[in-house]
Amino acid sequence: MAAKAKKKLKSKTKAKNKKPFVIDFHGHIVNPDVFALTQKNSLHSRIGLGKQTSLGGDKHSQVTMQRMIDMSARLKEMNRMGVDLQVISPSLIHHNTEPMAPSRALKIVQRVNDSVAEAVAEHPDRLCGIGIVPLQDAKLSAKELDRMVKKLDLRGVQISTIVRGDELGDKKFHPFWRKAQQLDVPIFIHPAGNADPRLKKFGLAFMVGQPYEEALAMSSLVYEGVMDKFPNLKILIAHGGGYLPYYAGRQDNAYRAGRDGGTLKGSFSSYIRKFFYETVIFNPDMLDYLSTKVSSKNIVMGTDFPFGETNPLSFIRKSKKLSSAQQDAILGKNAARLLKLKI
């Protein structure tokens, strides 16, 4: 009996210590030729930060760019971090093509999507790809989304928070949202930053600007009715959702007082729970707070490679509120479900 109990305890301990399959939903990749073609349209160029992230920039930027290009080095980094599979998406190219004519942007976008698919084909057991679209033309975007999913087997799409001054809730984007819902693929919203001159110094265009942009995008999608019109959308917000999930009480208060000016079908916080989020927030306490506002099933692990979290497993394990099973799901199972992957 004692031997049997010991064997059972050993089996339980082994199961408890078994590493979950880990998926990083947020990994950037660069096609250097395309990046060179579109760099002049980047946020850095527009707000006068020069070549900070260009191929010809300072030493740190050159190293960062190389990490997004060198696949062998990426795989080694993934091994070091304990990442089994990384979801790769073009690094801000979708913002750089925005000022272009839709037909020209489409050609570049297709070139980028093809290169993402090629990278995945070379390492199908380690990489999964999502593409981009020329969202300045919603109908063209819908067609390219259909192509990338059906012909290239890309598993989702990455878009910005604003397109030529138009918020994502604008009716002109409905053809895109309709197609995304029809294909049942995740939409990863990732801003370039914010071009407000007040944010030019100290990296604030990104440190403050990105979470601000994410809050605005979510607000637009909620108040302008996209989340109600297309209830089955799977929208994933980068960087833990920006500011909004942690400050939604202000929106709820405005809703209760009738000051929000919208026609919501519930509190603002009820819509917050319909989005998906990744974990690039760098503070375990914030992850715990997020898990009290949305289901842990709607949270996936992300590193923001090569800019962000370098020890993702350790970060998730620092949670004081999430159970081991919930942590394991965040580390991989939730992303696998979103991407329709078998792990």
Residue with tokens 């760099």: 39
- Judge whether 123 lies within some domain: yes
- Judge whether 12 lies within some domain: no
Rounded to two decimals, the pTM is: 0.90
- Judge whether 140 lies within some domain: yes
Taking alpha carbons only, the member of 31, 170, 11 closest to residue 88 is 31
What local confidence, expressed as pLDDT, does residue 279 receive? 98
In angstroms, the CA 182 to CA 147 distance is: 13
What local confidence, expressed as pLDDT, does residue 339 receive? 98
- Judge whether 221 lies within some domain: yes
- Judge whether 75 lies within some domain: yes
Taking alpha carbons only, the member of 137, 136, 127, 129 closest to residue 112 is 129
In this structure, the number of other CB atoms found within 10 A of the CB of residue 202 comes to 9
- Judge whether 213 lies within some domain: yes
Q: Which domain holds residue 259?
A: 21-339
What local confidence, expressed as pLDDT, does residue 190 receive? 95
- Judge whether 68 lies within some domain: yes
What local confidence, expressed as pLDDT, does residue 34 receive? 85
What local confidence, expressed as pLDDT, does residue 11 receive? 42
CATH of the domain at 125: 3.20.20.140
* DSSP-derived secondary structure for 10-39: HHHHHHHHPPPP-EEEEEEE--HHHHHHHG
> In the chain, how many domains are there?
1
Task: Return averaged pLDDT per consecutive 10 residues of the chain, 343 residues in all.
Answer: 45 58 96 80 57 52 85 97 97 82 95 97 98 97 98 97 95 98 98 84 87 95 96 97 93 82 84 97 96 97 95 97 98 98 92
Contact status, residue 158 vs residue 190, Cβ threshold 8 Å? yes
What local confidence, expressed as pLDDT, does residue 77 receive? 97
- Judge whether 3 lies within some domain: no
